[in-house]
Structure 1
Amino acid sequence: MKIKVGSRESKLAVIQSQIVIDAIKKKNPDIEVELVTMKTTGDIILNKTLDKIGGKGLFVKELDRALLNGDADITVHSFKDMPMDVDERLPIVAVSKREDARDVLILPKGQTEIDFSKPIGCSSARRRIQLQKLYPQCTVKSVRGNVLTRLDKLDSGEYSALILAYAGIKRLGLEDRVSRIFETSEILPAACQGILAVQSRKDFDVSFLDEFCDKDTLAISIAERSFIKTLDGGCSSPVAAYGVIENDNIILTGLYVEDDENQYIIKSKTANKSKAEILGKELAIEMREGYING
């Protein structure tokens, strides 16, 4: 049996796909696995913010096409980069155990403090509004490109610092670049940050992924994505959700931003992990209605 694994061609995307490939080979040594890489529209258009060119779907369109025409059997994604609406023909069939979900501050090489005369590179509204509460004197400028491209822009002097996901930095082996790790109470992570998602065709046998899929992480991801979807949150929407499991319960924390983005609300709600989707929806409705009525 041969499995073709589709991936974006960036270094981080290939490393993440290799995590899945290694897990498949470990439990299924008789399966031949081939990595198929491709450049997505989101990787090509780097001079505009994602909300101006179509959102997160630009990172999956080519990979979805590869699945549908048989050029790939499974595809690997950073789950936080996937749109809320997934093609019914191409379900999420497995998720990884979650890597550290926190965001980190990275300074230019040789620097120990933020130079507030230059902007901080930050590509999401979620990060921007929380960052400006931590550093009221800062200015924020959008930054596009893969992690290594962003680091090059930082070190060339274009930015005073970057805010990036710790998970990607760890997977790239760049922990030594980290100047500060933000606790989730300081910057609430994006929904599903640190989680890898595997997608496939609806009729394709993916039993070889049974032991790879982490059931607790799956429950958390369902709750987080339910929260975001209920609020209609997309790539540029300043919303966030982060869940943790204690015993058999999910404690879900959500961030909801008022229309003018000057204020935001953070609230938590707990439910049994079997109620993950309902939990996300109920927390989103409570926060939205609380803002409207408050």
Structure 2
Amino acid sequence: MKKILRIGTRDSQLALWQANTVKDLLAAAGIEAELVPVKSEGDLDLVTPLYAMGVEGVFTKTLDAYLLSDKIDIAVHSMKDVPTQLAQGIVQAAVLPRASYKDILVFRSGKERQEQYDKIGTGSIRRKAMLLHRYPDCTVDNLRGNVQTRLQKLQDSDWDGAIFAEAGLSRMNLLPDTYEVLDWMLPAPAQGAIMIVCRSGEEDTFNACHKLDNEVTAICTRIERDFLKTLMGGCSTPISALAQIDGDQIFFEGNICSPDGKELLETSKTFAMHEWQTAGADAAQDLLAKGAGRIVEAIRNK
């Protein structure tokens, strides 16, 4: 490819880090690219909790519009922000190797790990639901903004701590000295993965990006997103999922939790590698048989 690829990205420092990573990988493959930073709807409204904004793809739809109107050639996303159904005319071109999928609790200065927490900050309905399930008496306050803003809000607050994705802080070299890895909290589907999308039919662009695709990450995130899609969940539904490959087997864990944390339905399944294309949907059917549809319906009717 001789043309300079235009990479669309949100303009937060983490998003720019991700886009620059893709730019460098393309450069190593002999493909020149430039960044086109764009403000998303999710970046403009930093007050409303994400789950209350009522719009799926709040961080991606502006870039979708840029892509479909030929203002950019590809877009780089945190994969967990991407709707399970891509906009018509847009296709997944690559998924980069996954970083940490884990959530961590970053403590406010002077605070440390405790058996019970009184007040925690997060803007995620999934994290809030899981916190309330484990710590029913905990107060969960809304926390929005880019990584640096959220870290500062934590230090200015009266909270014990706030929850972050370990991958984001690690990529920005902002991991604090003390934090708790929340091993009991399953991640959002595709957390820690970076997705590249392009226009359908653009074979040269697709092929250039697809060279960066990591098959293991692509399969695992596909399973997790199929699980989410089958449960008909979105940003307002507390759904967690994690698929991991070991040899010729896939180990999957998933759950759905009521927003108040009172009801948690879980599934854990093992699949053969040749079953990967149906694994996510099969695991979701297991939860639906346990009553997951009732939780989804109750959230929709709120």
TM-score by length of 2: 0.89
CA distance 1:158–1:11, shift in 2 (3 Å): farther
**Cα separation, partners in 2 of 1:178 and 1:235, compared to 1, 3 Å:** farther
Structure 1 pair 142–116 and aligned structure 2 pair: CA distance change class (3 A): farther
Pairs within 5 Å for 1:122-201 = 122-183=122-183, 186-201=184-199
Do structure 1's residue 214 and structure 2's residue 214 form an aligned pair? yes
> Conserved in 2, the CA contact under 8 Å of 1:106 and 1:177?
no
Structure 1 CA distance for aligned equivalents of residues 266 and 28 of structure 2: 41
Aligned partner of 2:11 among 9, 12, 16? 9
Query: Take 1:92 and 1:210, find their aligned partners in 2: how far apart are those partners?
Result: 9
Question: Partners in 1 of 2:240 and 2:22 — Cα distance?
Answer: 26
Matched, 1:27 2:29: yes
1:115 Cα shift?
Answer: 11
Identify the residue that residue 238 of structure 1 maps to in structure 2.
238
Q: Deviations over 1:227-273 (max 9, x none)?
A: 01111111020111100001122211110235874121222112233
Q: Identity rate of aligned residues, in percent?
A: 33
Contact kept in structure 1, 2:254 and 2:266, CA below 8 Å: yes
Asked if the contact 2:52–2:236 (Cα under 8 Å) also holds between the matched residues in 1, the reply is no
Structure 1 stretch displaced more, 113-122 or 194-203: 113-122
Does the 8 Å CA contact 2:133/2:261 hold for their aligned counterparts? no
Tell me how far apart the structure 2 counterparts of residues 214 and 225 of structure 1 sit (CA, whole Å).
16
Counterparts of 1:81 and 1:259 in 2: how far apart (Å)? 19
Cα distance 1:81–1:109, how it changes in 2: closer, same or farther (>3 A)? Answer: same
Q: Secondary structure at the match of 2:58?
A: helix
Q: Specify the code of the residue in structure 1 equivalent to 2:147.
A: V
Amino acid at match of 1:93: A
Counterpart of 2:298 in structure 1 is none
Residues 30-45 of structure 1: pairs in structure 2 closer than 5 A: 31-45=31-45
| C-alpha separation in 1, matches of 2:238 and 2:117 | 25
**Alignment: residue pair count:** 289
Q: How far apart are residue 292 of structure 1 and its match? A: 7.1
Could you tell me how far apart the structure 1 residues matched to 2:178 and 2:117 are? 21
Shift of 1:177: 4.8
Q: Which runs of 5+ in 2 are unaligned?
A: 294-302
**Residue 55 of structure 2 is aligned to residue 77 of structure 1:** no
Looking at structure 1, the residues matched to 178 and 277 of structure 2 have their Cα atoms a distance apart, in angstroms, of 34
Distance of aligned partners of 1:283 and 1:33 in 2 relative to their CA distance in 1, 3 Å threshold: same
CA deviations over 1:105-147 (Å, ceiling 9, x no partner): 1112343356988631112222122223443442111211111
CA deviation after TM superposition for structure 1 residue 53, in Å: 2.1
Alignment-mate amino acid for residue 11 of structure 2: E
CA spacing shift, 1:241–1:231, aligned 2, 3 Å? same
Kindly state the Cα deviation for residue 3 of structure 1 after the two structures are TM-superposed: 0.5
**Secondary structure of 1:57 counterpart:** coil
Tell me if structure 2 keeps the 8 A contact 1:4–1:33.
Answer: yes
Residue pair 1:67, 1:74 contacting (<8 A) in 2 also: yes
Q: Distance in 2 between matches of 1:236 and 1:105?
A: 21
Q: Distance in 2 between matches of 1:55 and 1:193?
A: 19
SS at match of 1:37: strand
Q: CA RMSD in A?
A: 2.2
Structure 1 residue 190 displacement after superposition: 0.5
Query: Bigger CA drift: 251-260 or 162-171?
Result: 251-260
Counterpart position of 1:226: 226
**Residues 223 and 280, structure 1, Cα contact 8 Å, conserved in 2:** yes
Quick one: distance in 2 between partners of 1:230 and 1:280?
A: 8
Distance 1:285 1:80 in 2: 21
Matched residues in 1 for 2:201 and 2:25: separation? 22
CA 261–12 in structure 1, closer or farther in 2 if over 3 Å, else same: same
